[in-house]
Amino acid sequence: MIYLDNAATTKPDGEAVEKAGVYLNEKYFNPSASYKEGFALQRELKETREKLVAYIADKEAYDLTFTSCGTEADDTAVFGYARRGNAVTSAGEHSAILSPFAELKNRGIAEPRYAPLKKDGSVDEEKLLALVDEKTSFVSVMHVNNETGAINDVNEISKRVKAKNPRAVFHSDGVQAYGKIPFRISPFIDLYSVSAHKIGGIKGVGALIRKKTLAFHPYILGGGQESGRRSGTENVFGIKTFEYAAEKKFASLKAEYGRLTDLREKLYAALDLEIFLRLSSENSSPYILSVAARGCRGEILLHMADDKGLLIGTGSACSSNSKNRYSRVVLACGYDEKTADGVLRLSFSPSTTEEEAIKAARILNEAAADFRNGKV
């Protein structure tokens, strides 16, 4: 089996899982307990928060609240900070942002405004800034597009947003960026969402990184865990797996960035370019390559590839249950429905080999040729 759907989820890092096993079998206590074992876990969680923040930000200026996933982190940001007036985002955001934005309108909280995308899936920065005014309370721009891999310069965008409205809270969904692309948060970014299972952690753990000077508005209420910011007993095993996986990812980040850039280009070069149209730009994240198969249905090619042992995606796995046949991101990039119907997303991890990439291209070439020749 060749697994190239790592933007959906990654295989948990075996070493990280094994190292964190002690928190299942020995240190299984509730961190909120009043005995010394509980206090010890609280101290460990504090250290983990600081480590995860320090990879991309000044831990003296930013803190981190654990959540159940990236979606919860995004929802916490939107519903915690969007207020009366308007809230601005892009048409290419993950559903974890777009669905809450639609709900802002349904609940009469704020007017949602959507900036268009460029051809590669990045936000049109000038048109986004044109939507920001004195009534804008919240702006959210994803760091790396989960379908095309387009990288938004969120440091520069946030700086320009703050210059236009210093009171607007700026958030970025960094789920496809954290641990994958070289980056340090600028002081103009207030909130940043991350997820464990995109970098070798396990499902069920995410986090919202927050500038400490920004008041926190809890989204989930209850027992007051996470210093009152997110109620619910912490998933210590998942959190420690996240810590250990992140440690490995950041240690190899620059080397993997270069290696996967080369691997992605070799895979693309091995595709039949008379059939496959490139949607991801050369400057996009090396972890994602999106293409469109001319004259083919992406969903059918996905199943044909699956039969041959290649696992890929057709867009966002988190929106795969949607009734919409076409990727809204690809349509927002300006492509027609015929092109959007043939979209395939290949996404990589540190374990992806060049041999697997070349074999994947061969499988896709064969599947597309069979589809065109009616051998379905």
Do residues 271 and 158 both lie within one domain?
no
What φ, ψ does residue 289 adopt, rounded to 5°? -130, 115
The pLDDT of residue 320 = 53
Q: Which residues does the annotation mark as catalytic?
A: 318
Do residues 147 and 187 both lie within one domain?
yes
Of the candidates 250, 267, 285, which is a domain's last residue?
250
| Residue 353: Cβ within 10 Å count | 11
Q: What is the CATH number of the domain that holds 40?
A: 3.40.640.10
Of the candidates 191, 220, 250, which is a domain's last residue?
250
Contact 350, 15 (CB under 8 A): no
Of the candidates 215, 250, 285, which is a domain's last residue?
250
Contact 112, 86 (CB under 8 A): yes
Which residues make Cβ contacts (< 8 Å) with residue 275, sequence separation at least 6?
A: 293, 294, 295, 296, 365, 368, 369, 372
Do residues 226 and 259 both lie within one domain?
no
**Helix 70-81 and helix 95-106, axial crossing angle in degrees, nearest 10:** 30
Do residues 195 and 270 both lie within one domain?
no
Do residues 244 and 295 both lie within one domain?
no
Sheet bearing 288-293, strands edge to edge: 276-278, 288-293, 343-347
The pLDDT of residue 317 = 55
Do residues 20 and 107 both lie within one domain?
yes
**Domain residue limits at 117:** 14-250
List, run by run, the mean pLDDT of 10-residue segments along the chain (376 residues).
98 98 93 89 96 97 97 96 96 96 96 97 98 98 98 98 98 98 97 98 98 90 84 93 98 98 98 97 97 95 97 72 76 94 97 98 95 81
The pLDDT of residue 322 = 53
In 3D space, the residue among 61, 139, 127 whose CA is nearest the CA of residue 101 turns out to be 139
pTM here is 0.95
Q: What is the CATH number of the domain that holds 349?
A: 3.90.1150.10
The pLDDT of residue 373 = 83
Give me the number of domains the chain comprises. Answer: 2
Do residues 279 and 215 both lie within one domain?
no
Do residues 41 and 126 both lie within one domain?
yes
Do residues 349 and 222 both lie within one domain?
no
pLDDT one-digit tens code per residue, 113-128? 999 999 999 999 999 9
Do residues 265 and 179 both lie within one domain?
no
Do residues 203 and 90 both lie within one domain?
yes
Do residues 279 and 350 both lie within one domain?
yes
